[in-house]
């Protein structure tokens, strides 16, 4: 018997967190977004002017009162009791998060927090990230690797943030996503890649509703 987990991995802007949240709602399970913890450590490091590499950052990750707090709509990241859901989404954090997530001690800490959150839900949980199916829950009952064409992902990201999407903006966003995916895929530890037993789902021409319905159907079968 594997873990009662739906693991949704994939590159930036492929729709992981929106899809995972909707799948979790449909299944009546919590949604755990692992990227929020990497972002929270990055935010704390930038605010404390701790270099985003090296031993001081690792000490900060261990010492920080960062929590995944359960609310009615899912787990919410907090630093010292303050909701940081919005602060962790700024460009400043996004620009540095891949460097922070390449550090082994930081990854170990995130994985412990994520596994602790999931352990409270024996009936199952929906998780998204980069290495959920490969490293965090290699025995997940269902693994999805979500992709979409780079331009489509960039368009979605700009629309989501209410930013303009003329050809220049779009080109810049494509380059920014490619830079982060390149860093996440080429690092030594837990690189972004599909698990051998993941279901690959290219959502380029799909609606959000269709991909959610597809994954919910696969999950019901896998969990039955």
Q: Residues in the site for ligand CDP, rule: CB under 6 A?
A: 10, 12-19, 34-35, 38-39, 97-98, 101, 129-132, 156, 160, 180, 184, 203, 206-208, 211
Q: Is 30 exposed, middle or buried (0-12, 13-18, 19+ CB in 10 A)?
A: buried
**1 or 215: CB nearest ligand CDP:** 215
**1 or 187: CB nearest ligand CDP:** 187
Nearest distance in Å: CB 128, ligand CDP: 6
Answer yes or no: are the C-beta atoms of 176 and 121 closer than 8 Å. Answer: no
Gap between the Cα atoms of 103 and 111, Å rounded: 12
Nearest distance in Å: CB 205, ligand CDP: 8
The DSSP symbol for 88 reads G
**4 or 107: CB nearest ligand CDP:** 107
Answer yes or no: are the C-beta atoms of 192 and 184 closer than 8 Å. Answer: yes
**1 or 30: CB nearest ligand CDP:** 30
Nearest distance in Å: CB 146, ligand CDP: 7
Gap between the Cα atoms of 158 and 145, Å rounded: 22
**1 or 104: CB nearest ligand CDP:** 104
Gap between the Cα atoms of 8 and 145, Å rounded: 6
Nearest distance in Å: CB 48, ligand CDP: 19
Both tokens of residue 52? 């985003």
Nearest distance in Å: CB 224, ligand CDP: 26
């Amino acid at each position: 018997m594997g873990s009662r987990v739906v693991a949704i991995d994939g590159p930036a802007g492929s729709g992981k967190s929106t899809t995972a949240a909707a799948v979790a709602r449909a299944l009546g399970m919590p949604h755990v977004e692992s990227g929020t913890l990497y972002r929270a450590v990055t935010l704390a490091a930038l605010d404390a002017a701790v270099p985003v590499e090296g031993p001081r950052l690792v000490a900060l990750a261990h010492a920080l009162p960062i929590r995944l707090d359960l609310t009615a709509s899912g787990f919410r990241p907090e630093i010292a009791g303050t909701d940081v859901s919005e602060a962790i989404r700024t460009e400043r954090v996004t620009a540095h998060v891949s460097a922070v997530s390449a550090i082994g001690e930081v990854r170990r800490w995130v994985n412990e927090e994520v596994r602790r959150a999931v352990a409270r839900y024996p009936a199952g949980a929906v998780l998204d990230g980069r290495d959920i199916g490969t490293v965090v829950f290699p025995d997940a009952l269902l693994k999805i690797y979500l992709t979409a064409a780079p331009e489509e992902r960039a368009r979605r990201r700009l629309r989501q943030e209410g930013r303009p999407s003329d050809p220049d903006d779009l080109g810049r966003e494509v380059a920014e996503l490619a830079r982060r995916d390149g860093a996440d895929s080429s690092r030594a530890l837990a690189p972004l890649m599909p698990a051998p037993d993941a279901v690959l789902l290219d959502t380029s021409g799909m609606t959000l509703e269709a991909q959610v319905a597809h994954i919910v159907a696969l999950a019901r079968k896998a969990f039955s």
